Copies of this chain bind each other. A is one copy, B any other.
Amino acid sequence: MPVPVVYQSLKVDSQTRARLGQVHTPHGSFDTPAFMPVGTQGTIKGLLPDHVRATGSQCILANTYHLMLRPGPQTVAELGDLHRFMAWDGPILTDSGGFQVFSLADINKITDEGVIFKSHIDGAMIELTPQQSMFVQNKLGADIIMMFDECPPGDAPPAYQQQAVVRTLHWARQCVKAHARADEQGLFGIVQGGGDLDLRAKCAAELIDLDLPGYALGGLAVGEGFGTMLQVLDHTTVLLPAEKPRYLMGVGFPRDIVAAVASGIDMFDCVLPTRNGRNAYAFTNTGPMRLRNSLFTRDDQPIEAACDCYACRHFSRGAIRHYFFAGEMLGPILVSLHNIRFYQRLMADIRQSIASGRFDQFRKNDPRAHFGPSEQADQV
């Protein structure tokens, strides 16, 4: 059986574990380290696919949890699968629904079979199991799909973390069995284990035995702190097979991405550029810019003079500020566009620095490598 998702290594950094490569999928390839914007409900909020492509994004993400509830996997399938539905003919990744069920849903019951929860849309009781997650993701038809995993909160006690890993491994085997399109969609495993390094190692080892086409780290950036995240990354990433892509789920600030690349991570997704964009928070090379600030009322400059995004090429800070205060969609649209372009410029610069042997310098000296959350409001 052909493997639908293949990692091609181009270079490994000599001073860090950073890797330059490409991931090949049935809908084309993307350069790694890669950032994937999040299209929760089948759209990167407010943006047409052409604009998303113009930011340099090559692979995008959609959420199984949301699309399962609305419009439903059968509807997406009848509308021609997620690529046609979202008008995105490049690579797409769907998560398994696990993270959303455990973080958003009103959970009724968790058993070894799966989770029963209340739909946030109509209150209906819904069951999500490894089999159901695979069924939905097979219908959606993304190039990369994720195993259904148990995601404990960052502060979960050790006993829960251990139990969650046992269940995650059990579910991983269920997912492998239930995956009906293994020749067309690459199923990635998800390493859980919280801050417990031994547990992470055990989880990684058992998942590697399943010989999946890619591996992710889950349960990070959930409040465990930057130090713990780095520790888990440094310890766990190296355990993952070098010939397969590695994905750090739901991360993060530029600082987190640069640090994770140094530990050998290839793929990232995060709602920060779009969610913060909708709140008038712009990412810039010199830190956050909050465009509602009255400082910008009559500021004719673009968000960043050196940025080549649509917003920076056409609109002043003053005009963008006005659109936010006037409640116009254009404000969220422009800052989301800018922020995704900021992330893609960051990724391109990271790739360039690895290619030219300057990544270690980049991670030490580039201001973006130190751009983390500055206060509560900036949390993921």
Name A's B-contacting residues (CB within 8 A). 41-43, 45-51, 66, 70-71, 75, 78-80, 84-87, 297-298, 300, 310, 314-316, 318-319, 321-323, 325-326, 328-330, 332-333
Q: Tell me which of B50, B75, B316, B328 contacts A85 (CB under 8 A).
A: B316
State A79–B315 Cα separation when bound (angstroms).
Answer: 10
**Can you list 6 pairs linking A and B with CB atoms under 8 Å apart?**
A66-B326, A75-B297, A78-B300, A79-B298, A85-B322, A87-B315
Give every chain B residue within 8 A of A66 (Cβ-Cβ): 326
Instruction: State whether A318 touches B41 (Cβ < 8 A).
Output: no
Please give me the residue from chain B that is nearest to A46 by CB atom: B329
Please give me the residue from chain B that is nearest to A300 by CB atom: B79
Instruction: State whether B75 touches A42 (Cβ < 8 A).
Output: no
Instruction: State whether A300 touches B43 (Cβ < 8 A).
Output: no
Q: How many copies does the complex hold?
A: 2
Please give me the residue from chain B that is nearest to A89 by CB atom: B314
A315 to chain B, nearest CB (A): 6
Q: Tell me which of B49, B310, B314, B330 contacts A314 (CB under 8 A).
A: B49
Please give me the residue from chain B that is nearest to A310 by CB atom: B48
Give every chain B residue within 8 A of A333 (Cβ-Cβ): 46, 48, 329
Instruction: State whether A75 touches B329 (Cβ < 8 A).
Output: no
Instruction: State whether A70 touches B319 (Cβ < 8 A).
Output: no
Give every chain B residue within 8 A of A326 (Cβ-Cβ): 41-42, 66, 70-71
Q: Tell me which of B43, B70, B75, B332 contacts A330 (CB under 8 A).
A: B43
Give every chain B residue within 8 A of A51 (Cβ-Cβ): 48
Beyond A49-B314, A80-B300, list 9 extra A-B contacts (CB 8 Å). Answer: A42-B323, A48-B310, A71-B326, A78-B300, A79-B319, A85-B318, A85-B319, A85-B322, A86-B319
Output the residue of A66, A316, A319, A333 with the most chain B CB within 10 A: A319
Output the residue of A310, A328, A330 with the most chain B CB within 10 A: A330
Give every chain B residue within 8 A of A310 (Cβ-Cβ): 48, 50
State A42–B84 Cα separation when bound (angstroms).
Answer: 33
State A322–B323 Cα separation when bound (angstroms).
Answer: 26
Instruction: State whether A71 touches B329 (Cβ < 8 A).
Output: no
Instruction: State whether A329 touches B45 (Cβ < 8 A).
Output: yes
Please give me the residue from chain B that is nearest to A51 by CB atom: B48
Output the residue of A50, A71, A78 with the most chain B CB within 10 A: A71
Please give me the residue from chain B that is nearest to A48 by CB atom: B310
State A78–B297 Cα separation when bound (angstroms).
Answer: 10
Give every chain B residue within 8 A of A315 (Cβ-Cβ): 87
A322 to chain B, nearest CB (A): 4
A49 to chain B, nearest CB (A): 7
Instruction: State whether A330 touches B46 (Cβ < 8 A).
Output: yes
Give every chain B residue within 8 A of A75 (Cβ-Cβ): 297-298, 318, 322
Nearest 8 CB-CB pairs, A to B? A87-B314, A46-B329, A43-B330, A71-B322, A41-B326, A78-B298, A79-B318, A85-B319
Instruction: State whether A322 touches B46 (Cβ < 8 A).
Output: no
State A79–B314 Cα separation when bound (angstroms).
Answer: 12
A84 to chain B, nearest CB (A): 7
State A48–B319 Cα separation when bound (angstroms).
Answer: 13
A334 to chain B, nearest CB (A): 8
Please give me the residue from chain B that is nearest to A84 by CB atom: B316
A224 to chain B, nearest CB (A): 31
